[in-house]
Chains A and B, each alone.
Chain A
């Protein structure tokens, strides 16, 4: 089963990479970009028996640093 974990910086946490991307977009002449936040996408290919709770634990223990990051789990596809 494919599962996606989106890791993003919490609101209010300064995102220097997002800021640099924002400036680069402006430098390319793209107007109307109000803000940019950069995050991570982690794709997991899991055995069907792995529970939501286990994925949540993976996020808390390793995939995200909950001091500064939020995470969102998205199960995308069931194995045939």
Chain B
């Protein structure tokens, strides 16, 4: 599986993401700097990592969304390439309008950094096929702006179309309908606040994130 990790000034989970991809796929990803105007050829995954791109100036993800590489990411998304945005990556995807809604300051003001229980709501996407629908998994979160908000019509559409991938079990950050991760209409773009790349090996304490990458590897390895 050929993957790429986008690196912005202020990204700080890019190497965690690279290690997780290398561990599961056996192949290190290409690291792509934000000033690049193109992506490597024949990618099976583009990962947008967590962190504080551009110091969260203006709004989390707002400056990164305007960087040259994101034009290439948008084109890749339109071609059907799987795009995974984690934490700040999710914020970038909403600011790029590849995903609807916005991630606001946590309702409790505080930075939230802990393991959270998630319910897998949709196990049919390339990202979630390693899980069972309805299954509860535990993955860490670490964010200040994870409070997902959208207008009621958008939320109803996300629910109706099965585009809520993950939901918090219990209160986390004030997110509308406890949404932790959503898919685009075609199902090839996933944004999620929890960090699956921080739960891929025994030393992490938990390995529930590993199945996201394993499911993805299996999904993209299927002969077309």
Contacts and interface: CB of A to CB of B under 8 A. Distances in A.
Nearest to B106: A16
Contacts of B202: none
Contacts of A44: none
B58 A14 contact: no
Interface residues of B, number: 20
A11 to B, nearest CB: 12
B59 interface: yes
Interface stretch (B97-105, B161-169, B210-218): B97-105
Interface in A4-30: 13-14, 16-17, 19-20
Contact of B62 (A13, A14, A19, A65): A65
B150 A16 contact: no
B185 interface: no
B109 A16 contact: yes
Given A67-B101, A67-B102, A68-B102, A62 B62 contact: yes
A63 B63 CA distance: 10
B94 to A, nearest CB: 8
B58 A16 contact: no
Given A13-B104, A14-B174, A68-B102, A63 B58 contact: yes
User: How extensive is the interface on chain A, given as a class?
Assistant: 10 to 19
Given A65-B62, A65-B95, A17 B102 contact: no
Contacts of B107: 14, 16
Nearest to B149: A68
30 contacts: A13-B104, A13-B149, A14-B104, A14-B107, A14-B147, A14-B174, A16-B104, A16-B105, A16-B106, A16-B107, A16-B108, A16-B109, A16-B147, A16-B174, A17-B109, A20-B109, A62-B58, A62-B62, A62-B66, A65-B62, A65-B95, A65-B102, A67-B94, A67-B100, A67-B102, A67-B149, A67-B151, A68-B102, A68-B104, A68-B149
Interface of A: 13-14, 16-17, 19-20, 62-63, 65, 67-68
Interface of B: 58-59, 62, 66, 94-95, 100-102, 104-109, 147, 149-151, 174
